[in-house]
Amino acid sequence: MKNMDKIREAARDPYGYAESYKTRTHKKVVGYFCSYAPEEIIWAAGALPLRIFSRKSGIHLADRHLQSYCCSLVRGVLEDALSGELKFLDGVVFPHTCDSIQRLSDIWRLNVPYGFHTDVVLPVKLNTDSAGEYMINVLKAFRAALEKKLDVTISDDALRASMELYGRLRGMLGQIYEMRAQNPDAVSGSDVYSIMKAAMVMDRQELLALLNEAVLELKQKKSAGAAICRKRVVLSGGICDFPDVYPMIEEAGGAVVWDDLCMGTRTFAGDFAEKKDPIEAIAGRYLERIVCPAKHSGLTNRADNLVKMVRERDAQGVIILLLKFCDPHAFDYPYLKNALDKEGIPNLLLEVEDQLPPEGQLRTRFEAFLEML
Ligand code: SF4
Ligand code: SF4
């Protein structure tokens, strides 16, 4: 599948993709760190929004600024920035989410000598009377800041065109997830991983065209092959930049049929609000989307959603991937576990770092869990 090869390559080397994109198109590239960064506004400004994943090389320079008990994602991206690997970036956007990203923002502003820096201080509690108005004002301020930094005008029409593109892309990603949930052998977990990562890296227009064809091929494959009986699991956590996890689960007789990840459903979940003003429509999506642990919208919102996900997708268990030293997810874990236990849903906690534990060790844990389902 030629299309998938391009997608896999962009997911394998996002920085390489972005650098060649810049050379090819002469467009700007704006980095971001989290699914609360308003990508649609960046795209409407004529720039490529690039989610920054660490290259996972050794940490040397970042250790001068961050304690070793910060998550490996934040330490890794700071290392990449300080070592000049991200020099091609025209700027970086820091959404106000977990403490680590907020502190990274300060360190970046003071120590990274290239590209602009801007914060997007979205509200933390999303279910209050004032959250909507606050969110809209923050996004308007971000639009104005981006116009200034990129020296462009972001028109309402450009915003609507960007929202239309993102709507179609997210719809396509949702379709791929549905297809996999119905027949996990129609598309491998590592290909879904590559598609989701590419959706945060590639030219969104180009990716949508590639996916249109790829989905047609997948549909043919789906009707051609008989479904294999696999143990169905939901993956939950934050970022999951671990392509090796998927084949290991599949080789152990399981399949990830849905997820609750920043690199997964949080990327495409939620519709724009039906508002005339595009900024209000974008704000509406953030307010309604199921929260990640760095935001608040009701005491049991995330657990209710996770249980619903398991039931709706006919899953037999949940694997929670916890990035070491990720406080927001660690704080959420006990209550998520309680909710799953109460519902009789088997669950497994795996604490991981940028470098996964030895393959044999991980494989044994997956096999033991799947056997028990
Ligand atoms: S868990 Fe939340 S704060 Fe962390 S990267 Fe994901 S969306 Fe952003
Ligand atoms: S949410 Fe967790 S993994 Fe993501 S940047 Fe924050 S501390 Fe790191």
- Atom in ligand 2 nearest the alpha carbon of residue 292: 1
Question: What pLDDT is recorded for position 359?
Answer: 79
The pLDDT-based confidence of 55 (bands split at 50, 70, 90) is: confident
Ligand positioned closest to the Cα atom of 99: 2
* Tokens of residue 296, six digits: 């608040």
The verdict on the CB of residue 286 being under 6 Å from ligand 1 is no
Measure the CA–CA gap between 220 and 104, rounded to whole angstroms.
45
Cβ atoms within 10 Å of 4's Cβ, excluding its own = 20
* Tokens of residue 216, six digits: 């047609």
- Atom in ligand 2 nearest the alpha carbon of residue 329: 2
The pLDDT-based confidence of 355 (bands split at 50, 70, 90) is: confident
The verdict on the CB of residue 236 being under 6 Å from ligand 1 is no
Of 32, 34, 331, which is best to mutate to test ligand 1, by the most ligand atoms within 8 angstroms of its C-beta? 34
Indicate the pairing of strand 254-260 with strand 48-51.
unpaired
The pLDDT-based confidence of 29 (bands split at 50, 70, 90) is: very high
Q: What's the 102 CA to ligand 2 centre distance in angstroms?
A: 10
Mean pLDDT of 108-118: 97
Nearest to 98 by CA among 357, 339, 332, 344: 332
Of 98, 104, 305, which is best to mutate to test ligand 1, by the most ligand atoms within 8 angstroms of its C-beta? 98
Measure the CA–CA gap between 194 and 243, rounded to whole angstroms.
8
Of 103, 200, 259, 262, which is best to mutate to test ligand 1, by the most ligand atoms within 8 angstroms of its C-beta? 262
| Cα→Cα distances 107→100, 173, 238, Å | 10, 34, 22
The verdict on the CB of residue 238 being under 6 Å from ligand 1 is yes
The pLDDT-based confidence of 278 (bands split at 50, 70, 90) is: very high
Nearest CA, atom 2, ligand 1: 292
The verdict on the CB of residue 71 being under 6 Å from ligand 1 is no
The verdict on the CB of residue 246 being under 6 Å from ligand 1 is no
| pTM exceeds 0.75, yes or no | yes
Question: What pLDDT is recorded for position 64?
Answer: 94
Enter the DSSP assignment of 64.
G
The 8 Å CB, 24+ separation contacts for 303-307 are 303/335, 303/336, 303/338, 303/339, 303/340, 304/339, 305/260, 306/234, 306/236, 306/260, 306/336, 306/339, 306/340, 307/339, 307/340, 307/343, 307/345
Ligand positioned closest to the Cα atom of 241: 2
Query: Residue 354 pLDDT > 90, yes or no?
Result: no
Of 53, 68, 69, 74, which is best to mutate to test ligand 2, by the most ligand atoms within 8 angstroms of its C-beta? 74
Query: Residue 57 pLDDT > 90, yes or no?
Result: no
Query: Residue 49 pLDDT > 60, yes or no?
Result: yes
Q: What's the 70 CA to ligand 2 centre distance in angstroms?
A: 9
Q: What's the 326 CA to ligand 2 centre distance in angstroms?
A: 5
The verdict on the CB of residue 97 being under 6 Å from ligand 1 is yes
The pLDDT-based confidence of 76 (bands split at 50, 70, 90) is: very high
DSSP string covering 140-193: HHHHHHHHHHHT----HHHHHHHHHHHHHHHHHHHHHHHHHHH-TTSS-HHHHH
Query: Residue 344 pLDDT > 70, yes or no?
Result: yes
Nearest CA, atom 8, ligand 1: 34
Angle at CA 202, nearest 5°, toward 270 and 194?
75
Mean pLDDT of 225-232: 77
Nearest to 94 by CA among 42, 152, 21, 150: 42
One-letter amino acid at 126 equals L
* Tokens of residue 281, six digits: 């429509």
* Tokens of residue 173, six digits: 């990603």
Q: N- to C-terminal Cα distance for the chain?
A: 34
One-letter amino acid at 239 equals I
Q: What's the 261 CA to ligand 1 centre distance in angstroms?
A: 9
Nearest CA, atom 6, ligand 1: 262
Measure the CA–CA gap between 265 and 240, rounded to whole angstroms.
12
* Tokens of residue 200, six digits: 């945060």
User: Who lines ligand 2 at CB under 6 A?
Assistant: 71, 73-74, 98, 100-101, 238-239, 294, 323, 326-329
Q: What's the 34 CA to ligand 2 centre distance in angstroms?
A: 9
